[in-house]
Each structure stands twice: as C-alpha cells, then as structure tokens.
Structure 1
Amino acid sequence: MQTPLKLALAGAGLGLALLAAPPATAEYVDVLDLPAQHSTLALGSPLSAITRAGKRLLVVGQRGHILYSDNDGRDWQQAEVPVSSDLTAIRFAGERDGWAVGHDGVVLHSDDGGAHWTRQLDGRRIGQLMLDFYAANPQADNAALLDQAQRMKEEGADKPFLDVWFKNAKEGFVVGAFNLILHTADGGLTWTPWNHRVDNPQSLHLTAIAAVGEDLFIVGEQGLILKLDRQSQRFVALTSPYKGTFFGVVGEPGLIFAYGLRGHAVRSVDGGASWSEVNTGLPVSLTAASVGGDGRLYLFSQAGQGLVSRDLGASFAPLALNERTPVSGVLASGDSLLLVGNRGLQRSALPAGQ
C-alpha cells in the first residue's frame, strides 16, 4: 500500500531531523515538549494543509510550523506553537477558534485566529484516556477495545492524527491511524473515544473527515467510506466501488467526491447512497482537492498535476499551472489557487476560462 502524502512528508521530515540532529551528548527533548522554532525558511519548507479563518490564511507543516497571512498570502507571520511535531491538518470554526492536528497524537487549539496555540492533547495521554473511558463505559466488544487502548498506552505517542473537523466552537472530531477517532463537545477541553461508534472492524486508517451540507463523511484505507448516522450517532460504512486507499473527501450540495491512490476517485450525487468511479486520466495518487466559489472542483496529484471539473466531478480537464510541484493541500481563492506541498507555498493564477 502506498503511503499517503501526509505520512510521506512526515517521513521526509524525520530524515532531515536526523541529519540536523545535535551531537549524541546533547540532552534529548521530546518534540511534544519543544516549541516550534521560528525560521525565515518556514514558508518554503514542507507544508501539509491550508485553510481560512475569516480573511486570514493559515498553513501548517513540519516541525510544528504554523504560519498566517492577513493580506491574502503576500506576507506571512509564524505563529507561536508549543510543539515541534509534524502537523497534518488545520480547521477553523469561525474567525478565532481553530484546531491543528498531527503526528505524536497532538491536538492544538487557538482562540485568537491562529497567532498563538496551546496543546489540548497528545499521544502520551490517549491510551490512558481510552482505558479510562472503556473501563467506565463497557461496550459489546469491550475486551477488544480495552486491548487496543492498552497497546496505545504501551506504544506511546506514535499514532498520528490525519484530519480534524469542527461543526462549531464546541463540537468536533479528530481522526487518524488505526481507527483513532475522538469526539469533543466542549471545544477540546475533554475528548471521548468513538472507536466503538465506527463500522471499521479492521481498524483501518481514517485519513480524512469532511462535512457536505448537514452530512459528515470519513474516508480511509481499503475503500472505506463512512457517513454519520445522526439518529444512532454512529459512522456507518457505505458501499464503495473502489477498494484502495482514499486520501480525501470534499463536496458541495449535490456532490460528494472522494479521491486517493493511483488516480482513483469516486462520486455520489445522492448523499452517499450510491457511488460511481470517475476517470481522472491520471495514474498517480490524488492528494488534494478544493471546490471553488464558482462551483468548479479542483483536483491535484502527488506529482503536481492539476485537474478541473465543471460538471460536479463527472469529468476532468487538465489545469494549466505556473509550476508543477507535489501538492498536499489546496485552497481556491479568488482568481488564484494556493497550493502547499513539500516545496512550501505556491500561488497559481487561474488561466482565463478556467
């Protein structure tokens, strides 16, 4: 199975960190206890995701880097971040409250639009959190859940969160490797395991979570597509025509679009009841997508190719880009596409007619 770009970027970061490591005699400091270092090179180093908080742009990437811009990306400032873990995703619920997640099971929160961040959770605590919850709230398969929690406690902070979603400033989810999923109803002050509320008996990785209208979807390995059943408060598995890994899911009213390994993508126009495969014409992994304000769907690959759809993801045409670089996150902004990847931030003007 090919590794998602998020994990690949983090792996590259580990290699760089080893090359730049201090002598063996230096005292070891866990990245969860080491604040992100300010660097003039941060914007050009590997980045994994981009989002908006009101008019503010924010990006996240390796070594705990979070940067923000208040003038549509012309100038950037580096945020104060309490960890140096590689970050994989960022999401805001309004202009001020935002969350970022990443490796080492880290969950960060900002209440000032992303200028300053605090740690709400990390992987050193998740195993015990799960043990305490399932000991106090037994489930039908509690023995397996307790065993998983015990392994997580023993293995420590080695499980990444790969995505985050918040409905508002209080309620949200974080998802990640090996069916790792936590829910909060108080803005992240406390977290509740939801492993028992997911149709994922193989504990497949959960790679992305996104809302389309009032519906909430999760995608993952082996063709996994899940939809939250509001009545049962459970993520129910849907039937997918593709059985490989999905890396992301986006949508708009009338469309749910999931994309992943080796150019594969699927779409649904009936709320997830049925799915059809989409011919993207690409043989490489699809790693980022965004719906523009004009309703067009933009899709990008690990090799830097760009595609655009004008018919709700039914067909795609090549997109002319200023530069072709691997893309891990995209945001359609006015007449430009803002792309992030292992070469940092790139801006590509949309050609006339696109």
Structure 2
Amino acid sequence: MTMIKWFLLAALAYAMAVPFTRPVIAGEFADVLDTPALPSELAVRSTLTGLTHAGERLVAVGQRGHILYSDDAGQHWQQAQVPVSSDLVAVHFPTPQQGWAVGHDGVVLHSSDAGQTWTRQLDGRQVGPILLEYYQQQLASQPDDADLQHRVSDAQRMVEEGADKPFLDVWFENDQIGYIVGAFNLILRTDDGGQHWTPLLERTDNPSALNFYALRPVGDDLFIVGEQGLVLKLDRASGRFNAMPTPYNGSFFGITGKPGVALVYGLRGNVFRSTDGGVSWTKVELGLPLSITASSVTADGRIVLVSQAGHVLVSSDDGASFHIQPNTTMAPVAAAQVANGSSLVLAGTRGLRQLPLE
C-alpha cells in the first residue's frame, strides 16, 4: 500500500502513510513503534481522530500517539502515557476501565485504568506472521483449497512488507471479545481481551478486499462499512459478515442509530437509513453536500451527525430527517461524543472543542 488518505476515513487533511522513522537527535532515528508518545501542552490542539466514553470519562486519540482523557465533559484534558508514537485512529471502551485503541503500523493498545496508561498488545510487525501461521494451518488440512492458497500467498507478502498494516476501527462486545478492522479487508477477532487474535478475512463478503472504515453495533446487529457502498452485518450463527446491499457505491465512514434504526453515512452527505436490520435502505436527504464524518446519540434518543466542515445536524425522529444546528463555529471534525446530555465534544484537525446542543 502506498498511501490511504485519512481523508477517506474522515474527509480531513490527514494521510495514512507507510511506516516511518522520526529523528530523535542528530544522526539517530527511532521507529515510532519503539518511541513513546511525547508529553505536549499542545496535544489538546493537535489532530485527534477518535473519541469515546470510558464510563463518565471521555478519551480521545490522534496523531503521534497522543491520547487524552477528560473527567469534566471535555472542559479540561490530561495526556495519557502511551508506549508508541504511531498515529492513532480509533478507540473504544466496553467497560469504564478496559479499553482499546488502534491505528497506523498495526498498533493495538490496551488500557486497564480508564485510559490513563496504555500497553501495546499488537503491532504491524506481528500481524503478517499471525495471518501466515493461521492460513498455513488451514491450508495444511485443505491443501487443494484455492482460496486458502491465495490467503497464504497474501500473508507471505504482508510479512515481507513489514509493519504497514493500518487498523481503522476497534469495537469490543465486552472486556474479552472484540474486533479490529482496517485496510484491504483486514479483520481480526479476540476472545481473550487481546492476548491472541484470530484472522477473519475469509469470513467477509468482500471479494475485492475493500477497505473497512468503521465497525459498530446498532441494537443487536454488528455492522462494518467501507469503500464502494460496502455494508456488512455479522451473522452470529455462522460467524460470517454478510453483505447488505445499499443504493450507493461511494465510501461510507460510519454507522450510528439505536435499536430498530440504523444509519450509515459517508461521502458528499450521503446518509441511508434502515429499519429492518439492513435488509433495505432509504436515503435521508440532508440538503448538505459535504461528507458526514462523525455521529453520536443523546440520552433522550436524538441522533447527531457532524459534517467534515463541522456542521452539526440533529434528528428527533429516529433519523428520518435532520436539521442543521445554527450558530456552530466551523472546524474540521473526525469524531463526536455527547457529554452531560447537553453538550457535544468534537475532535478533529484543530484538536478538541465543546459545543452546546440545542
């Protein structure tokens, strides 16, 4: 992979580059995977791309391994201790204490103290060998399987490429079972809190190996969205992610909703709504031709979407229609979370900021 623009994930000027090194002092270099994130008073205003709740706490992740947390609904932030300086993209806490963050260079980080300190569980130097060992074992029992032969070949190539394995989203069902997804159909599952990871590449309806941009549940359904209108839903009985056709063939960046209502959103203001578990989709007209890059749901059930430029759109009818909240200061946005029920915390290229909700 040469370069995948973070613009495709969040429609912002942020590039997903191949692994790189950063000078430490003149004549010396250190891999970002071996370089802890530096404390910085400017971290709160740097590019931040992921945002989530850890109980009542907010946790944000972004460039250079920056992770910040807030205990006052986003008014003040503290920087966490992080063992890498790779760019981070997404974060999720299934419990107030246990959380995971993912990003470039195949990084998977884990926190057991609500985001104050982090340890590395996985990186891109290990991903290729994990895939190769797994699919070689599968091929040994099915030596004539052409698909497995192809996956072994791909895994060997990934080993040779090194750490260039960007993960773009993470979601955990509880503190043991979780999924990570990324570029070119990359998807793994853990059943032991990230101690071991199992590849699921053969369990997705994604023959073109399109990029996965987001992984989120709506009600009891778990969805993945990505390039070219790709929407997949987990069939828990078979463990397979099945394609759910949509009327749109552009990129989707995210999923939101609540039990009985799912929305997928992406490029050029395209939002589609389903009330039957993804079997059929209806376009939601926003009247805004800008990409939708973030979402959240309020405690009273309002659905909030945010555009790449920072427009805040709110629905009070389960996503059937949206109105633009007036008097919103524009700034690029990558992630959003409702805080205290009456405010919205936004993360993007200008760092973190707080807005009142109508």
Q: TM-score range by the shorter chain?
A: over 0.9
Count of residue correspondences: 347
Q: Is the 8 A contact 1:321 1:348 kept in 2?
A: no
Alignment match of 2:347 (pick from 324, 340, 344): 340
Q: Per the alignment, in what secondary structure is the counterpart of residue 48 of structure 1?
A: strand
Partner of 1:134: 135
Q: Is the 8 A contact 2:302 2:316 kept in 1?
A: yes
- Give the deviation of 1:304 after TM superposition: 1.6
Equivalents in 2 of 1:305, 1:321: separation in Å? 9
Q: Per the alignment, in what secondary structure is the counterpart of residue 30 of structure 2?
A: coil
Alignment match of 1:275 (pick from 267, 272, 281): 281
Question: Residues 209, 130 of structure 1: CA spacing in aligned structure 2 closer, same or farther, 3 A cutoff?
Answer: same
Partner of 2:101: 100
Q: Per the alignment, in what secondary structure is the counterpart of residue 247 of structure 1?
A: strand
Partner of 1:162: 168
Letter in 2 for 1:339: L
Letter in 1 for 2:133: D
- Give the deviation of 1:157 after TM superposition: 1.5
Alignment match of 1:266 (pick from 272, 276, 284): 272
Equivalents in 1 of 2:294, 2:89: separation in Å? 13
Q: Does 1:308 align with 2:314?
A: yes
Question: Residues 9, 107 of structure 1: CA spacing in aligned structure 2 closer, same or farther, 3 A cutoff?
Answer: farther
Q: Is the 8 A contact 2:83 2:119 kept in 1?
A: yes
Equivalents in 2 of 1:152, 1:261: separation in Å? 29
1:315-334 matches, within 5 Å, as 315-333=321-339, 334=341
Question: Residues 6, 315 of structure 1: CA spacing in aligned structure 2 closer, same or farther, 3 A cutoff?
Answer: closer
Per-residue Cα deviation, 1:201-242 (whole angstroms, up to 9, x for no partner) = 000000000011211100000100000001111000011111
- Give the deviation of 1:78 after TM superposition: 0.7
Equivalents in 1 of 2:186, 2:237: separation in Å? 22
1:34-183 matches, within 5 Å, as 34-138=35-139, 140=145, 141-183=147-189
- Give the deviation of 1:10 after TM superposition: 4.0
Q: Per the alignment, in what secondary structure is the counterpart of residue 243 of structure 1?
A: coil
Q: Does 1:297 align with 2:298?
A: no
Greater shift, 183-192 or 303-312, is seen at 303-312
Q: Is the 8 A contact 1:226 1:236 kept in 2?
A: yes
- Give the deviation of 1:7 after TM superposition: 8.1
Normalising by structure 1, we get a TM-score of 0.94
- Give the deviation of 1:72 after TM superposition: 2.0
Question: Residues 180, 321 of structure 1: CA spacing in aligned structure 2 closer, same or farther, 3 A cutoff?
Answer: farther
Q: Which has the higher contact order (CA 8 A, sep 6+)?
A: 2
Q: Per the alignment, in what secondary structure is the counterpart of residue 154 of structure 2?
A: helix
Q: Is the 8 A contact 2:220 2:259 kept in 1?
A: no
Q: Per the alignment, in what secondary structure is the counterpart of residue 113 of structure 2?
A: coil
Equivalents in 2 of 1:236, 1:12: separation in Å? 27
- Give the deviation of 1:303 after TM superposition: 1.6
Q: Per the alignment, in what secondary structure is the counterpart of residue 268 of structure 2?
A: helix
Alignment match of 2:292 (pick from 286, 290, 312): 286
Alignment match of 1:349 (pick from 336, 343, 356): 356
- Give the deviation of 1:5 after TM superposition: 4.3
Letter in 1 for 2:130: L
Question: Residues 321, 158 of structure 1: CA spacing in aligned structure 2 closer, same or farther, 3 A cutoff?
Answer: farther
Normalising by structure 2, we get a TM-score of 0.92
Equivalents in 1 of 2:183, 2:16: separation in Å? 18
Question: Residues 12, 161 of structure 1: CA spacing in aligned structure 2 closer, same or farther, 3 A cutoff?
Answer: closer
CA RMSD of aligned residues (A): 2.0
